């Protein structure tokens, strides 16, 4: 099998639990660190799937790697190569597919609940998950749902938390890839952002994020197992 390619945009925002999942499943994967100067490939054909992680930048920033990455996402969708985006990654997917990325009414930072939209969205993907469950958040912007995609999840503070296109490409606003080490690193790196956004009803302090962390991560990884398991079924051999 050709490897899955995972794009990292920030040193503290690597694949986390997703990397553990892929390795456990015996799926080859390789990591390109855009933050360290790795270039965006011109062709997706060498890979079985495309994964985009999170990052502190905006899709609307004028960064040299954004246009070629948007083109790579479109190329993957055109060739039915599964794409998976987390937070910034989901926003990149939306933008590449004709959507918009704009400021969310409030910042969401920390643990928070999401709910399925409608009566039974994407039952093959979400059928084993409860109607509401907890995820991890860290974003100030939000994506629109691209034409032809189905909105899957919402939260009280952000209407668009996930979308699915062609039963193959999954864009997430929330984070399901978190590990304890990632949460600690983000709390340290984002201390000023947390302080500045403390008035937001959707922003937690580090102490609250650490509360019951082991049990919360176990539940989060259960959610990730369901979504990642479905996503890898579309990988190209």
Residues belonging to the active site: 87, 175, 177
| Whole-angstrom distance, CA of residue 146 vs CA of residue 94 | 6
In 3D space, the residue among 78, 224, 77 whose CA is nearest the CA of residue 164 turns out to be 77
Contact status, residue 97 vs residue 130, Cβ threshold 8 Å: no
H or E element: which one contains 108?
strand 101-116
| Whole-angstrom distance, CA of residue 162 vs CA of residue 116 | 9
Sign of the dihedral through C-alpha 76, 80, 82, 83: positive
Q: What dihedral angle (degrees, nearest 10) is formed by the CA atoms of 71, 6, 138, 179?
A: 170
CA distance to 2, 24, 65, 168, 209, per residue, from 46 (Å): 6, 22, 19, 18, 39
């Amino acid at each position: 099998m050709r490897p899955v390619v995972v794009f990292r945009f920030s040193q503290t925002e690597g694949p986390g639990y997703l990397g553990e999942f892929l390795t456990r499943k015996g799926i080859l994967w390789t990591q390109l660190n855009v933050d360290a100067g790795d270039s965006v490939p011109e062709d997706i054909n060498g890979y079985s799937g495309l994964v985009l992680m999170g990052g502190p930048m905006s899709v609307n920033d004028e960064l040299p790697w954004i246009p070629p990455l948007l083109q790579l996402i479109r190329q993957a969708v055109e060739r039915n190569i599964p794409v998976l985006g987390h937070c910034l990654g989901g926003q990149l997917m939306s933008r590449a597919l004709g959507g918009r990325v704009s400021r969310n009414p409030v910042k969401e930072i920390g643990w928070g609940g999401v709910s399925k939209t409608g009566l039974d969205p994407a039952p093959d993907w979400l059928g084993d998950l409860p109607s509401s469950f907890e995820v991890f958040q860290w974003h100030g912007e939000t994506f629109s749902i691209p034409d032809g995609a189905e909105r899957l999840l919402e939260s009280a503070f952000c209407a668009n938390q996930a979308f699915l296109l062609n039963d193959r490409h999954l864009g997430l606003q929330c984070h399901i890839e978190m590990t304890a080490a990632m949460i600690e690193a983000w709390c340290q790196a984002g201390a000023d952002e947390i302080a500045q956004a403390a008035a937001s009803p959707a922003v937690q302090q580090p102490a609250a994020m650490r509360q019951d962390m082991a049990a919360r991560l176990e539940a989060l990884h259960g959610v990730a197992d369901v979504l990642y398991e479905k996503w890898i079924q579309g990988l190209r051999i």
